[in-house]
């Protein structure tokens, strides 16, 4: 079945450090890929998405590129801020999942001033 594997945290960085959260997937067909962010005590917010190979999603300084050859969708940001502290979920939808989101386990990011 479809699945998402992402690096488990927690990840602790200093402000202005570079961030990479690895995400790889297994899916039938051609999945759509998403990164969601969950701030403490809140619901999930869509951070970015990509629907086909080589697409790059970007938002709020975060980027991720849909790499079909490596089945990856790593999340990157060049300079993190304290306000980026949250849990980040990689997710996919595919024909095999009936359009439903398959989530990774989540990665908690803490950014220290």
Considering the rule CB under 8 A, would residue 98 count as an interface residue with other proteins?
yes
Considering the rule CB under 8 A, would residue 12 count as an interface residue with other proteins?
no
- The least distance separating other proteins from the CB of residue 67, rounded to whole angstroms, comes to 18
Report yes or no: 40 and 86 within 8 Å, Cβ to Cβ.
Answer: yes
**Window contacting other proteins (CB under 8 A); options: 14-22, 58-66, 70-78, 92-100:** 92-100
Report how far apart the first and last C-alpha atoms of the chain are (Å, whole number). 41
CA distances from 4 to 15, 60, 69, 86 (A): 28, 23, 16, 19
Restricting to residues 40-59, which ones interact with other proteins according to CB under 8 A? 42-46, 49, 51
């Amino acid at each position: 079945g479809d699945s998402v594997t992402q690096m488990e945290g927690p990840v602790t960085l200093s402000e202005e450090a570079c961030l990479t959260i690895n995400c790889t997937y297994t899916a039938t067909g051609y999945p759509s890929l998403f990164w969601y962010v969950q701030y403490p005590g809140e619901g999930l917010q869509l951070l970015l998405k990509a629907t086909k190979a080589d697409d790059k999603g970007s938002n709020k300084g975060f980027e991720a590129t849909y790499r079909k050859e490596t089945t990856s969708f790593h999340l990157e940001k060049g300079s993190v801020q304290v306000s980026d502290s949250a849990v980040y979920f990689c997710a996919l939808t595919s024909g095999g999942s009936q359009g439903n989101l398959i989530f990774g386990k989540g990665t908690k990011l803490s950014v220290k001033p």
